[in-house]
């Protein structure tokens, strides 16, 4: 299995430029489509391009679909909990943002995207070749 290649899209100059909800989620736009980014403190941020925070930031970042796969609720109305989980505002389905799976055992998967915080901005990666993003959004 090959390594995924991403096209990186700058979504903000800095984290402070994003409009954060009380649930620590922000709406961004990539190629005219709404997506979400979220951050969690102290979640073991790494430098692998998948949820990596800035150097020494102690934050882990996540990108994910704007709508819940269960009932279509806007995930910007949800909230972060337990480090890398986001909770849907309608039926309280909780999704692990490291793999997109719901931790409630319902069988739903939330589409996730890697986020990188770089010196020149915050970037969200969309898999090259279209993949899910081009097909469904």
Whether residue 9 contacts residue 31, with contact meaning beta carbons closer than 8 Å, is answered with: yes
Euclidean distance between CA atoms 94 and 56, whole angstroms: 28
CATH of domain 23-126: 2.102.10.10
Whether the predicted pLDDT of 134 surpasses 60? no
On the 0-12 / 13-18 / 19+ scale of CB atoms within 10 A, 49 is middle
**pLDDT tens by residue, 58-99:** 789 999 999 999 999 999 999 999 889 999 999 999 999 999
On the 0-12 / 13-18 / 19+ scale of CB atoms within 10 A, 31 is exposed
Query: What's the whole-model pTM score?
Result: 0.83
**Which of 17-21, 48-52, 105-109 is the least confident region?**
48-52
Residue reference for tokens 């736009």: 29
Backbone angles phi, psi at 136, to 5 degrees: -105, -15
Euclidean distance between CA atoms 75 and 68, whole angstroms: 6
Whether residue 64 contacts residue 113, with contact meaning beta carbons closer than 8 Å, is answered with: yes
Euclidean distance between CA atoms 135 and 117, whole angstroms: 27
Whether the predicted pLDDT of 47 surpasses 50? no
Given 3-state DSSP classes, what are the helix, strand and coil percentages for the chain, each rounded to the nearest 5? 10, 40, 50
């Amino acid at each position: 299995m090959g390594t995924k290649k991403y096209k990186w899209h700058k979504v903000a100059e800095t984290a402070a430029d994003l409009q954060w909800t009380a649930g620590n989620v922000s709406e961004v736009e990539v190629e005219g489509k709404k997506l979400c980014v979220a951050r969690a403190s102290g979640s073991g941020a790494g430098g692998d391009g998948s949820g990596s925070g800035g150097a020494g930031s102690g934050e882990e970042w996540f990108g994910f679909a704007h709508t819940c796969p269960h009932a279509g609720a806007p995930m910007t109305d949800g909230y972060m909990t337990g480090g890398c989980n986001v909770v849907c505002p309608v039926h309280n389905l909780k999704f692990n943002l490291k793999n997109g799976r719901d931790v409630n055992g319902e069988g739903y998967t939330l589409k996730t995207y890697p986020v990188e915080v770089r010196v020149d901005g915050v970037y969200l990666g969309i898999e090259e070749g279209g993949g899910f993003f081009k097909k469904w959004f």
